[in-house]
Amino acid sequence: MKTFHTTFRVNFLVLLLFILTPAFGQQPSPVSQNSKGILRFKNFSYIDQQGTGLEAFSFLMPADWNFDGGITWILDNPAMPSVTAFRVSDLKSPDQFEVFPSHCYFWTTNLQLLGMFPPGSKYFGSTVKRTITAQKALRDIIMPEQRRGLPGFKILKDENVPELPLALGAGKQAQGFGSSGATGAKLRIRYDLNGVPLEEEFYAVVEQFSFPVKGMYGTTFNTIWYIDYIFSFRGPEGKLENSTKIFQALTSSFRVNPLWYAKYSNVIEYMARQQITRIESIGEFSRMLSRMSDQISDEKMQQFKANGDVYDRVSEKFSDNTLGIDRYFDPHEGREVELPSGFNNAWCNNNGEYILVDSPSFNPNENSNLHWEPMKRKQ
């Protein structure tokens, strides 16, 4: 079993800032605020309790929003040993950001192998299925799984987005593969939920990696392909753009823990090297993880840092004036943070929380047992 694709796939959120502008329009609407004109964010950290026990990722979310979901380790798929699915939602409105689990498939031009593993069956944990485009994947696979059947369901827009895989670096040829490629798409729908009309915009990428296999009857090609980077934004019908800045702040602040990434990469390599097609129990999986090194190789760390540099460059290029993001210096953490623009003052505390407010007289230290400090905006 080869290591087909070792890049981290938590449905990469950060680079999608590049796509948010055409999705929501060039001029974002004012960000939703509470009755006092104050917007408060908190730093959310997700701990991979099922697997590594490490923080896997973190991001900023509105303080009164809810997180639900996380990472699930798949014990029978060495090509994609974990998937991430979660929602970040407003408890007082339909506004929601959602990430969906990636899908992993296998296809081959080897008719003898297809006879043993026909379409719909499993091959090393991956479903056998002919490759399709991202546009078709959203319509024919993701919608039936996630939304079709809801009252008033209707597709409003259905578009190819070739910029999406390019911005993400998806589908780049990997060492040992004969060919690769990727397509991107977005789909806007409307439906009713509990009698409330909603709109939701989905994004996805389809990546494929093919490699030649020499046999008695010539050379055939095996293909591993994924539907990944699947996520959506939801809001009231006709008002989806109102929370654009919140969604942008959430995605731009998303960070992956390199120690978690090291464990994840080591699991893929270990399963491939040992030709493991199934891990029988969580207990066995935990014992395997405990024996693995927490170290990340120089090559993987360079790749990890290079990807992070790309994220930062794309974020800085598109998120400031175009997407309505301001950059501040957090004196508690000693780093730069990106928050929605349109506010005159910003405050932070040592719990990783932020307050944005227009009023110059507002001071969050009043009637609070937390220590808040004003933040300086980057010029």
SS3 track for the chain:
CCCCCCCCCCCCCHHHHHHHHHHHCCCCCCCCCCCCCEEEEEEEEEECCCCCCCEEEEEEEECCEEEEEEEEECCCCCCCCEEEEEEEEECCCCCEEEECCCEEEEEECCHHHHHHCCCCCEECCEEECCCCCHHHHHHHHHHHHHCCCCCCCEEEEEEECCHHHHHHCCCCCCCCCCEEEEEEEEEEEEEEECCEEEEEEEEEEEEEEEEEEEECCEEEEEEEEEEEEEEEEEEECCCHHHHHHHHHHHHHCCEECHHHHHHHHHHHHHHHHCCCCCCCCHHHHHHHHHHCCCCCCHHHHHHHHHHHHHHHHHHHHHHCCCCCEEEEEECCCCEEEEEECCCCEEEEECCCEEEEECCCCCCCCCCCCCCEEECEECC
The residue type of 142 is I
pLDDT recorded at residue 89 = 95
pLDDT recorded at residue 295 = 53
Residues 242-266: what's their mean pLDDT?
A: 81
- 8-12, 167-171, 218-222: range with lowest mean pLDDT: 8-12
State pTM to two decimals.
0.78
What are the pLDDT digits (tens) for 204-225?
Answer: 999 999 989 888 878 999 999 9
Residues 263-287: what's their mean pLDDT?
A: 71
- 115-119, 276-280, 283-287: range with lowest mean pLDDT: 276-280
Using 50, 70 and 90 to split pLDDT, how confident is the model at 314?
very low
What are the pLDDT digits (tens) for 79-114?
Answer: 788 889 999 999 999 999 999 999 999 999 999 999
Which residues does residue 46 pair with via DSSP β-bridges, in sequence order?
57
**Bigger pLDDT: 175 vs 208:** 208
What are the pLDDT digits (tens) for 30-54?
Answer: 444 454 578 899 999 999 998 888 9
Using 50, 70 and 90 to split pLDDT, how confident is the model at 28?
very low
301/307 Cα distance (integer angstroms): 10
**Bigger pLDDT: 347 vs 303:** 347
pLDDT recorded at residue 87 = 96
What are the pLDDT digits (tens) for 326-338?
Answer: 889 999 888 888 8
- Write down the residue that tokens 């485009």 correspond to: 133
- 143-152, 276-285, 313-322, 345-354: range with lowest mean pLDDT: 313-322
**Bigger pLDDT: 268 vs 172:** 268
Using 50, 70 and 90 to split pLDDT, how confident is the model at 75?
confident
